[in-house]
Amino acid sequence: MQPIEFMKTLRQFWVLVQRNLRLIWNDKMLLGSLVLQSPFMVFVIRLVVDPNCFTSNLVNVGSRTALFILSAMAAFMGTLNSYREICKERDIILREASVGVSLLAVVLSKAVVLLLIEIAQAAILTAGFVTVVHIPQNHLLFDTNLEIFVTVLLMLFASSATGLLVSALFKSGETAILVVLVVMIGQVVFSGIMFNLSGVTSAIATVIVCRWGMGALGASTDLNSRMAWLKAGFDGPMYDATISNLLECWRALALIALVCLTAAWVVLRVLFRRNKL
C-alpha cells in the first residue's frame, strides 16, 4: 500500500469509526442491549454457579462448568454483537466503495468499534464472575483476574470477528442468524466439554473460540489440579497450567479474529467486483 493510499485509508477509517459510534449512540435499543448484556450475564452466573466450586473440599465438576458458562457467554455475546453489522449496510458499503471508500477501512472500523464495546463488556463480565466465584490465584503471567479478563476479551473479539464474516457472507440478518445458530451449537459441541476431542473433532475444534477460551481459563485457574482428583478423564493437556499453554490459547484466539476479519474483507472485495461487472 502506497503512503498516500495508506493515509487516505487511515482518514476513512477514522471517519467510519466516528460514524459507527454515532449510529450506535443514536440507536437506543441497540445501545441498551449492548450495555445490559454483561450485567444480565453476571446475574445468570450468580443464579447458577456455585461460588465455592473452586475452593470447596468436595471436588466436583462445578469449576469446569463455571468456566464453560463464562466461555459460552463470551462466545455468544461476541457473535450476537456483530452478525448484522455488515449485512444491514451491505448496499451502502458497496455503493460507497464505488466512489473510493476503502473496504479495508470499513471492516477495520467495524472491528475497532466492536473492540471498544467489548473491552467494557469483558470488564463487567470478568468483574462479576470473579466477584461471584472464588477464583484461585494461580498467577501464570499476571494476576489471575487480569488473565481471565484478557481471555474473555479475546473470546468476545474473536467471536465478533466470526460474526462479521458471517455478516459479510449473507444479505440479511434473518439469513445470517441461521448460520449464527449453527456456529453457537458448534461452540458448545466442540468446546471439549461434552466429550474428548480427537481426530476430526480435534481438527474442527482448532477454529472454535470456546475450545481455546476454555483452555486459557483452565490454565489460569489450574483446572487440572481439581479435575485430576476425579479420575474421570476430565483433566488433560488442554487445561495445563503453564505459560506456554496460556499463550498458545491467546494466540489461537487472536489468529481466529485475524483470519475472520481478513476473510470478511476478501468477501466484500469479491462482492464489489461482481457488482461492477
pLDDT over threshold 70, residue 1: no
Of residues 86, 96, 136, the one with CA closest to residue 266: 86
pLDDT over threshold 80, residue 231: no
What is the structure's pLDDT at 118? 96
Average pLDDT (254-277) is: 91
What is the structure's pLDDT at 173? 77
pLDDT tens figures, 90-133? 889 999 988 889 999 999 999 999 999 999 999 999 999 999 99
Q: Would you give the DSSP letter of residue 16?
A: H
Average pLDDT (187-206) is: 81
Answer yes or no: are the C-beta atoms of 87 and 271 closer than 8 Å: no
Average pLDDT (42-48) is: 92
Beta strands in the chain (DSSP E): none
What is the structure's pLDDT at 161? 97
pLDDT over threshold 70, residue 230: no
Average pLDDT (202-207) is: 86
Which amino acid, 56?
S
Q: Would you give the DSSP letter of residue 128?
A: H
Predicted confidence band at 257 (pLDDT cuts at 50, 70, 90)? very high
End-to-end distance of the chain based on CA atoms, in angstroms? 25
What is the structure's pLDDT at 234? 54
As given in the structure block, the three cell numbers for residue 185 are: 451449537
Q: How far is CA 96 from CA 3, 82, 191, in A?
A: 22, 20, 39
As given in the structure block, the three cell numbers for residue 115 are: 473492540
As given in the structure block, the three cell numbers for residue 248 are: 498458545
What is the structure's pLDDT at 135? 87
Average pLDDT (152-156) is: 98
